[in-house]
Amino acid sequence: MGILDRLRGIDRRYWHVCYNCMMLTGHDTVKSVFYSEGPPVSVLGRPLFACPRCTSTNTKSFQNLKDEGSEAPLWGLERVVREHPRSQFIVKPVAQPPVSDGSSASRGNKETTVQ
């Protein structure tokens, strides 16, 4: 299967790099790249992909890098993707915390912050 992955071309639309994970992992490219065929998340009218590791939308697809003319970073990222099996980059999303609708404030519970 690894040989077939190497022969198959990289579809840049589905490969993404997460800049938040890049900072958190000390610039570990393997832990910052992910593969996702899911739908994008709309943030301020822009379609962005949420990182399955950290849920950040500070991501960029390989296709966007190509369109911007960032050839050197794209070459390095594609090289890393070719050296590792695709299964390493398919990450299950982390569980999302429940969304609060503000009803706790109506019950008298106040959130406090420590300064």
Q: What does the pLDDT look like over 21-75, one tens digit per residue?
A: 999 999 999 999 999 888 888 888 888 899 999 999 999 999 999 999 999 999 9
Q: What is the pTM of this model?
A: 0.70
Q: Judge whether 15 and 21 are in contact, CB under 8 Å.
A: no
Q: Which residue has the tokens 């594609």?
A: 78
Secondary structure of 41-96 as H, E, C letters: EEECCEEECCCCCCCCCCEEEHHHHHHHCCHHHHHHHHHHHHHCCHHHCCCCCCCC
The C-alpha angle 82, 88, 8, rounded to 5 degrees, equals: 35
Asked if the model's pLDDT at residue 110 lies above 60, the reply is no
Asked if the model's pLDDT at residue 100 lies above 80, the reply is no
> Domain coordinates of the chain in residue numbers?
11-94
112 or 89: which leads in pLDDT:
89
Q: What is the pLDDT of residues 1-12, one digit of tens each?
A: 445 444 556 788
Q: Say which DSSP state 21 is in.
A: H
